[in-house]
Amino acid sequence: MSPESAPVLPPPAAGAASAASAASGAPRFAAAVANPKVMRHALTTNEKLFVGPFLKSLLYTFSRMFKKDITRRYPEQKMENKPSLHGVPVLVMKEDGAPRCVACGLCEFVCPPRAIDIQPGETDRPIEREPKSFVIDMLRCIECSYCEEVCPEEAIVMSTDYEVVGRRREDFVWDLKKLLKPIAQLKDRIAWVRRTYRRWDSNADASAPPEGGVYRDPRWAGKSKPVDHH
Partner 1 sequence: MGVEDKFPEVVTSRLTDLVGWARKNSLWPMPLGLSCCAIEMMATVGPRFDLSRFGAEVFRFSPRQSDVMIVAGTLTWKMASVARRIYDQMPDPKWVIAMGVCASSGGLYRNYAVVPGVDRILPVDVYTMGCPPRPDTLIRAVMELQKKIDELAIDGRRPREPVFVQ
Judged by CB under 8 A, which stretch of 3-11, 46-54, 111-119, 221-229 contacts partner 1? 111-119
Is 169 one of the binding residues for partner 1 (CB under 8 A)? yes
Map the footprint of partner 1 across residues 118-147, applying CB under 8 A.
Answer: 137-144
User: Using the rule CB under 8 A, is 113 a contact of partner 1?
Assistant: yes
In the complex with partner 1, the residue whose CB is nearer, 2 or 71, is 71
Q: Does the footprint of partner 1 cover residue 71 (CB under 8 A)?
A: yes
Instruction: Give φ, ψ of 192 to 5 degrees.
Output: -65, -40
In order, the DSSP letters of 135-160 are EEETTT-----HHHHH-TT--EEE-S
Neighbours of 145 (CB within 10 A): 18
Any contact of residue 72 with partner 1 (CB under 8 A)? yes
Report the distance separating Cα 105 and Cα 128, nearest Å: 15
Strand locations in 49-122, DSSP E? 89-93, 116-122
d(CA 213, CA 118): 27
Candidate list 40, 56, 114, 132; residue touching partner 1; CB under 8 A:
114
Indicate which single residue of 15, 36, 52, 166 sits in contact with partner 1 (rule: CB under 8 A). Answer: 166
- Does residue 74 belong to the site contacting partner 1 (CB under 8 A)? yes
Nearer to partner 1, 137 or 217 (CB): 137
The whole-angstrom separation of Cα 184 and Cα 75 is 25
73 forms part of the interface with partner 1 (CB under 8 A): yes
Smallest separation (angstroms) from partner 1 to the CB of 67 = 11
The pair phi, psi for residue 92, each rounded to 5°, is -80, 125
Q: How far apart are CA 190 and CA 27, in angstroms?
A: 72
Q: Does 68 bind partner 1 (CB under 8 A)?
A: no
* Interacting residues toward partner 1 by CB under 8 A: 70-75, 78-79, 88, 112-114, 137-144, 162-169, 172
